[in-house]
Amino acid sequence: MEKQNDRRHILCVAFPAYGHMIPLLALARKISEYHDVTFAVSRSQHDELKRREILKDGDAHIKLFGIDDGFVGDLEDPTNMPLMREIFQKIMGGVAKLVMMIPTHKQRAAPGFGMQRPVDVVITDNMIAGAVAPVKSRGPLFHLFNTANASFNLMILQFKDDHPECEDDEAEAFAKMPKPGETLPPVPKEFKPMMISMRQSILLADGIIMNSFRGAEEEVITEMQNRPEMAHIPIYCIGPLIPQVKEADAKHQETERKVAQWLAAKPEGSVIYVSFGSIAQAGQEQLKEIAEALTNLDQPFIWSLKAKHYEHLPEEFQKTIASSLDDVNSKHLIVPWAPQKLLLAHPSVGLFVSHCGWNSTVEGLASGKPFVSWPQFGDQLINGEFLEAKGAAVIIRDAGSKKGRLVKAEEIVNAVRKAETECAVAAKMWGEKMRTAVEPGHASQEEFVKLMRKYSEL
């Protein structure tokens, strides 16, 4: 089968959670300037991406493909291991079926299958890589996209088949990098197979693509590359990938416009932006402490908080939620959805209180914002410590969604004030470095161009 001109066909297979889909979609858009891309994701999220106008059928050189895996809904509670296992079984089953049906240069697709052009490269992330890796036997290049801190990959490489197990309620609240001489702690028995699968997938990959700037994680990346089992696997640091997608659909465009007007009326560096991402949310008592802290700080703030939690806020907050968005002189905004890209890029925003998922970590630091890092689960503590090591964050520890303590308002106030005074300079410096890295002729862009040339040579 002949390849179509010099544009190769790249298949990106996404895990159906926004923290995974959005950075892979940002990579897909970047790749589509050089090659043709099919972006495959669970059918339910495929329809949602179209509804939100994040990706349209008419986009040049990038097409959506729905995976019929039976997954419906969202991933609101990643700490619920039985539920996560059930969801993973559906998603992994759908992906495994897809990779055995796609057309390759060795084998055509069945008539009527929604993808007929042979696939040259398959890119996926750690979460579902185990189901995608068998595609290597069918011919396409297999690249792993790391949607996490490089330290997370290094941690995964340390897992062995005989790694100790434990019950979910006995497990550590966060993934942690062991100190020299230490070993990784036991993991929940329901979680261990996924960790082992991730490790096997890293070692099967023809290359690893990092949403990171090599200069920000050079020590960890060097340690990864120096491991004997990694000697043959190239690493491409092409980040930071800041999503260039349309952030607001028709439903949210009015909110985005009003938020921009509100920000324009605030002094430079004065606004505190609070967001715990699309999954994690604080409990009822913690919400009250956050509200008290924000009141005591007496600064403008915007808080991204799902509407179902509004009833737990102080009465004075509840009274103004509906009207504040229409009043540029209001002291605060509490919204169920916030245009994060706009907020982090805006000069009026001076601090980011964040759960520190990797996307938020990269976006916030690339924007030069200091953080109060408040990890909730998973690898978010690793991300917070990454920022802390850069001098760009103050961490609130041991207060996540699993086994977390109640953080009092006074501690939150002190963390914000310390980050504002001690972390702003370092954050600004790292922001400049990260933004420069993706400019033509600089580190991340050069590595990306090298990767595109490799695809062209297939």
Beta-carbon contacts of residue 372 (< 8 Å; ≥ 6 apart): 351, 352, 353, 354, 393, 394, 395, 396, 412, 415, 416, 419
With b for 16 or more beta-carbon neighbours within 10 A and e for fewer, the 380-394 pattern comes to: bbbbbbbbeebebbb
Instruction: Kindly report, residue by residue over 365-407, the tens digit of the pLDDT.
Output: 999 999 999 999 889 999 999 999 999 999 999 999 888 899 9
Residue 199 has pLDDT above 80, yes or no: yes
Between residues 187 and 72, which one has the greater pLDDT?
187
Are the C-beta atoms of residues 259 and 342 closer than 8 Å to each other? Answer: yes
Contact of 139 with 105, CB cutoff 8 Å: yes
User: Which stretch of 55-64, 132-141, 357-366 has the lowest confidence by average pLDDT?
Assistant: 55-64
More confident: 167 or 280: 167
d(CA 212, CA 103): 31
CA–chain centroid gap for 335, Å, is: 21
Cα 156 to Cα 201: distance, rounded to the nearest angstrom: 10
Mean pLDDT across the stretch 19-29? Answer: 92
Q: Which whole number is the average pLDDT over 208-236?
A: 95
β-pair partners for 263: none
Residues forming beta bridges with residue 210, ordered by sequence position:
146, 237
What is the mean pLDDT of the segment spanning 73-79? Answer: 61
Per residue in 165-198, pLDDT tens? 998 888 888 988 888 788 889 998 888 888 899 9
Distance between the two ends of the chain, CA-based, in angstroms? 13
Average pLDDT of the chain, as a whole number? 91
Class at the top of the CATH hierarchy for domain 9-239+438-456: alpha beta
Q: Does 15 have pLDDT greater than 80?
A: yes
**Per-residue DSSP letters for 302-330?**
EEE--GGGGGGS-HHHHHHHHHHTT-TT-
Homologous superfamily assigned to 250-435: Glycogen Phosphorylase B; (3.40.50.2000)
Which of the residue ranges 54-63, 220-229, 308-317 would you say has the lowest mean pLDDT? 54-63
List where CATH 3.40.50.2000 sits in the chain.
Answer: 9-239+438-456, 250-435
